[in-house]
Amino acid sequence: MSAVPRSEKPAGRFRRMLDRLSSSQEDLESEELREDTATAGCTRIGDCHDRQIVTVTGTLRTVTLRPRAGVPALEAELFDGSAALDVVWLGRRSIVGIEPGRKLIASGRISMSRGRRVLFNPKYELRPVGRE
């Protein structure tokens, strides 16, 4: 046996193929989203801290209308494979193109609310549908 643990050895083509075959669909999608984050030059959501100005990218998991302090608010959960982030547009009931499964890039200042990362009224860019 070698002294280098298996996880630290460079993975060959056969090993990568076996890993992909034995991984769940969710694991594969998370890995793809993490690669997309790196390719786009964005910050991983898991690396974001309170009061930090960031640009993040990912896929919208859920989109809900949830009033905050009597004001309508469109709330979406953005997932990039490392962690989730709540994106909230205050004063909006709906936004064309903001729907579950849609990919987007969002920029703004992270805040923490009830232990979750939140991005209020971000600048955003919708990614093309079907872009692979």
Residue 19 vs residue 60, higher pLDDT = 60
Element (H, E) at 29: helix 25-40
Confidence of residue 129 (pLDDT cuts 50, 70, 90): confident
Confidence of residue 4 (pLDDT cuts 50, 70, 90): very low
What distance in Å separates the CA atoms of residue 86 and residue 63, rounded to the nearest whole number? 10
Mean per-residue pLDDT, 44-53: 94
Confidence of residue 16 (pLDDT cuts 50, 70, 90): low
Which of 35-44, 56-65, 92-101 is the least confident region? 35-44
What distance in Å separates the CA atoms of residue 13 and residue 16, rounded to the nearest whole number? 5
What distance in Å separates the CA atoms of residue 120 and residue 113, rounded to the nearest whole number? 11
